[in-house]
Structure 1
Amino acid sequence: MNYEASVQADYDGTPPPSEGDVLVDEQEVSRRKRVIIIGAVIGVLAVLALLFMMMHGSEDEPFQASADQLPSVTVAAPGTGTISGQIMATGTLAARREMPVGIAGEGGRVVSVPVDAGEWVKAGQVLAVIDRSVQNQQVNSARAQIDARKADARLAQANLDRALKLVDRGFISTADVDRLTATRDAANAQVKIAEAQYQELVARSNRLNVTAPASGLLLERNVEPGQVVSSGSGTLFSIAKGGEMELLARLSEDDLAKVSVGSKATVTPVGSGEQFTGQVWQVSPTIDPDNRQGLARIALSYAKDLRPGGFASAQINGGSLVAPRLPESAIQSDEQGSYVFIVKPDNTVAKQRVQTGVVTEGGIAIIDGLDGTEKVVLRAGGFLNEGDTVKPVVETGEEAAN
């Protein structure tokens, strides 16, 4: 075979590519790939933007989805009901009527003290016995004086009787009769004086003993046997009349205005798990200018767990009001205050400002902003925006309260 002919046959006439042409082709391919990638990214962003607009819509015109795509929210018309207002307060326990007992008589050395603090005493019961040995002798002397005066009176009467028998015979003059009559009357008067002096000494002797002026709980005992006491010794005993206690509950000006005499209250002493029922019997007519508080005095019956000077809390009924009640989950708040979402007749959501009141077992009272006929969103209000279209699911008032 001819070598040149063979080479000629293998060559098709196209010159082989140069090194520069190969570099240009690679750059073109790289550019096309970048264009494709950028286009794909732009397409994905466009799809995401469309989905976002579909879900949230614009600020001016909320997106309106189909009925199947609308979010379901639980709503309820709360209605209205009577709500008892509750006012919380704290204060100090004290005897409602505390009676200080001291020396009413002359005093003396204390012989015995038969009672102690914490005991129940009766009216007239002896609390402390005072030595009365000297007074007893004075009483005995006064009693003897009465006997002597009575003897003088009998003698004066006998003399008068004899004179009256002799006056008709002329042996006794009328003047003598008058003198004897005066003597008899003076003797009788001396008897009465002696009896009065005796009664005075007996009364003084009886006043030596310290007695309870009324029945009640003995709170304090400040005297011991052997002690010498007098009218200047101060308070020896302190008694809570009838055992009645009270709570001096401190309230702010606003709360004090809501409380009235006769309001029921539940008192819980510190350290005691028991609760005691009482009622407000006096509302302070003045306000302390330093702390802007006043006193509501709550009367309590006797109980051993009610100790004067102790601390206690009280829940006072502050009247009643008629208002809707909502669960806590329905109430939202921001820098402007509290609000709820209500569903309007076209199923769009609107923000409604409200004023909350007392918290009860049935929910939070709404004292302003609702009349009870609105459809209020009970839950998931934090995920809604004003103007959103929703699918309301109505619950009864009883289910809503739960």
Structure 2
Amino acid sequence: MVDPVVRRGKSKRRWVFAGIVLLLVAFVWYRHSGHDPGSYGGRGRHGMLPSQVVGVAKVESGSMPVVLDELGTVTPIATVTVVPQLSGYLTQVAFTQGENVTKGEFLAEIDPRPYQIQLEQFQASLAKDTAALAQARSDLSRFEILARQQSIAEQQVTDQQFLVQQDEAAIKIDQANIDTATLDLAYCHITSPVSGRIGLRLVDPGNFVTSASTTGIAVVTTVAPTTVIFSVAQANLAPVLERLGQGAVLPAAAYSSDDTTKLEDGTLAAVNNQMNTSTGMVQLRADFANTDEKLFPNEFVNVHLLVNTLDHATLVPTQAIQSGVPGDYVYVVNADNTVSVQPVTTGPSDGTKTVITKGLTPGQTVVIDGVDRLTEGERVTIASGPSGPVAPGASVAPGASAAPGATAPKAADPKPSQNGHHHRRDENGSSGAASTPASQ
């Protein structure tokens, strides 16, 4: 006979097991009956799958300028250190520091008196040797007459001819000494070798200067016109050389160091003849008129070199392009309001728009906002602007309000790959990793 206590324990366990089974059946029915609109894969009150709210934009056809943005240095055409070419005391400095000077303008003077005295000495030597030459030529004339009369020896005439030649050579030496002394006097009067802006005075009046000095008196730098030297990578050199080979004039614009203010327009003038093997860069020089002198010598500037313009290019907003396991890709909105992952090949970009060389055609619609919540084949709802729902293909800025009654977005795997991260390209074309939120 079974103990009544044992019988009651077994009956209690059967009731507990039956209750658990009923709870499981109720939970499964609840999950598939549409009463939980927030569950992943469930249906809402109207039996429709919940959709993500996204902003979209149309793929367009347009022009894209191919511009190289490089850091450059304003390099004057000429920078000249004015050094004395002879020794003496500096008696006068006539320039104002920091002013613009013209070529040949008087700058400073070295005491000219010693060189003036030396010039007078050479002039006296010339006068003496000139008189000696005149006497030698007169004697030669008389000797030639006497020689024809056979009154003197022929040797005496020959010796007199050599004496005349010596006096002629002495006169040439005297004239060269005079020219040298005259040049020294000119060097005492120091002038600007080029037009430009003169710097600070390096030597004060009263100092003794020499031709061996490397410091100089001042430095003159040309300001207008001027040049900017910048470097481009090896990969970007071929298009530049190709355009130059076609005879094209490539415009270059100089911007401030923060790349916000345009300073001057110019043109590419020259490409260096060799590559820097340590950096893989080659130097280029652009010419600028700089009439308003906004480009300051040795200033760092940003150079925007327009290499080419792509016409009828396929353009998409840069934020639509994602990076992941398949490479660069976008989410394309299909006719049934679902999205598909479309791998693309990108081209040049201006930060706002990017050229697509393969994978898209103008007229398609791509997702630009809410991309991190999408998966392949997911249904989407196009976000609304302030005046109502946005037409398919119209772009919506991040933060725009969704259509009334739209389902709140839920987190989902944003990539077609199986890992836990994706790379999102920002407006400047760079990519950064972003973690994937867990599914609700």
TM-score range relative to shorter protein? 0.5 to 0.7
Listed as ranges, the matches of 1:286-325 within 5 Å are 286-287=275-276, 289=278, 295-302=283-290, 303-321=292-310, 323-325=313-315
Q: In 2 relative to 1, CA 64–206 (structure 1 residues): closer, same or farther, beyond 3 Å?
A: same
Other-structure match for 2:211: 231
Other-structure match for 1:276: 264
Give the SS at the match of 2:166. Answer: helix
The residue type equivalent to 1:349 in the other structure is: V
Listed as ranges, the matches of 1:1-400 within 5 Å are 45=30, 49=34, 52=37, 76-79=58-61, 81-104=62-85, 106-164=86-144, 174-219=154-199, 221-236=201-216, 237-241=218-222, 243-249=224-230, 263-270=250-257, 273-280=261-268, 281-283=270-272, 285-287=274-276, 289=278, 295-302=283-290, 303-321=292-310, 323-328=313-318, 330-331=320-321, 339-344=329-334, 348-360=338-350, 363-373=352-362, 375-377=364-366, 382=371, 385-388=375-378
Cα deviation, 1:334-375, whole Å, max 9, x if unaligned, reads 7876532224577753121335554438x4113454342461
Query: How much does 1:111 deviate?
Result: 1.6
Other-structure match for 2:13: none
Equivalent residues of 2:54, 2:368 under 8 A apart:
no
Name the CA distance, whole Å, in 1 between partners of 2:189 and 2:377: 86
Q: In 2 relative to 1, CA 136–371 (structure 1 residues): closer, same or farther, beyond 3 Å?
A: same
Name the CA distance, whole Å, in 2 between partners of 1:114 and 1:45: 99
The more displaced of 142-151 and 108-117 is 108-117
Equivalent residues of 2:143, 2:152 under 8 A apart:
yes
Name the CA distance, whole Å, in 1 between partners of 2:55 and 2:174: 100
Unaligned runs of 5+ in 1: 1-37, 398-402
Q: In 2 relative to 1, CA 353–128 (structure 1 residues): closer, same or farther, beyond 3 Å?
A: same
The residue type equivalent to 2:376 in the other structure is: E
Query: How much does 1:128 deviate?
Result: 2.6
Equivalent residues of 2:253, 2:264 under 8 A apart:
yes
The residue type equivalent to 2:252 in the other structure is: A
Equivalent residues of 1:340, 1:376 under 8 A apart:
no
Other-structure match for 1:16: none
Q: In 2 relative to 1, CA 343–374 (structure 1 residues): closer, same or farther, beyond 3 Å?
A: farther
Say which one has the larger Rg.
1
Equivalent residues of 1:217, 1:243 under 8 A apart:
no
Q: In 2 relative to 1, CA 47–168 (structure 1 residues): closer, same or farther, beyond 3 Å?
A: closer
Give the SS at the match of 2:122. Answer: helix
Give the SS at the match of 1:312. Answer: strand
Equivalent residues of 1:342, 1:374 under 8 A apart:
no
Name the CA distance, whole Å, in 1 between partners of 2:344 and 2:305: 25
Name the CA distance, whole Å, in 2 between partners of 1:95 and 1:134: 38
Equivalent residues of 2:92, 2:108 under 8 A apart:
yes
When you count helix as a share of all residues, which structure comes out higher? 1
Cα deviation, 1:251-309, whole Å, max 9, x if unaligned, reads 666566766576432212359955212344345844484x7766544433344232223
Equivalent residues of 1:73, 1:390 under 8 A apart:
no
Equivalent residues of 1:259, 1:317 under 8 A apart:
no
TM-score, normalising length: structure 1: 0.66
TM-score, normalising length: structure 2: 0.61
Name the CA distance, whole Å, in 1 between partners of 2:145 and 2:254: 86
Equivalent residues of 1:128, 1:209 under 8 A apart:
yes
